Amino acid sequence: FSSMILWTGETTFTRRGIFNSHNSHVWAHNNPHTTRQRNFQHEFRCNVWMGMLHDRLIGPFFLPDRLNGESFRRFLSNDLPILMENVPLQFRQNSWIP
């Protein structure tokens, strides 16, 4: 039964979620593992959608930076059917896909 469902997930990646210790060293005698926090001039955001149907991965698909209901509806109506073209017809016909 569970192999007939299109399982999906979306996530957002931001600069705050990325840490590069090579750019954050602090030379200190009392704690050699200290790093310094930095503020970035430009913020970025990346929304990614991924799906799984049966044993097939669908995507990833990069959604707009500012995601709202209308842009997600456009993804479901316009982009998801194109992504599903790579899934064999027998899986698409026998599954619960919106």
Q: What is the pLDDT of residue 58?
A: 92
Number of CB atoms found within 10 A of residue 82's CB: 9
In this prediction, residue 86 has a pLDDT band, given cuts at 50, 70 and 90, of: confident
60 preceded by cis ω (within 30°)?
Answer: yes
Report domain extents, the chain.
6-94
3-state secondary structure of 5: strand
Tens digits of per-residue pLDDT, 36-80? Answer: 566 666 677 788 999 998 888 999 999 998 888 999 999 999 999
How far is 25 from 37, CA to CA, in rounded Å? 10
